[in-house]
Amino acid sequence: MSTELSRVDLARQALAAAREASRKNGGARKEKSKRRTSTVVRRDGREPLGLGSAISMMMTERGMVAPAAGGHVFARFDHILSARAPEFSGHVQAVKFDADTDCLDVAPDASPTA
């Protein structure tokens, strides 16, 4: 059997020796600084907000409504349909999008094809 140490074993020994020397020289780990959890209140009484909260408040104050979740699907339905099922292009239209179930209802085009 060989009593030689592998490179991994040598690296582990070197790391252990360096850690021990660091402890002896006062280089022990210091505790991580804790995040400040208190709320900063500005002099005018306002508190800082996250970007999403600020935008939501601004939209509410101005009576604006966020677009429906399926709005993008409706706007691009013809493009999506022609890319994924070109045989239905021009024969099917999007009718309703249910944001709770992520379900898009489609219906055949009302115009006769004969």
Domain ranges of the chain: 68-114
Cα angle: 26, vertex 30, 36; to 5 degrees:
155
pTM above 0.75, yes or no: no
d(CA 69, CA 97): 8
Banded model confidence at residue 101, pLDDT cuts 50, 70, 90: confident
d(CA 77, CA 88): 12
Supply φ then ψ for residue 96, to 5 degrees. Answer: -155, 145
Residue-wise pLDDT tens digits, 35-77: 766 666 666 667 777 787 778 888 888 887 766 555 677 778 8
d(CA 47, CA 97): 38
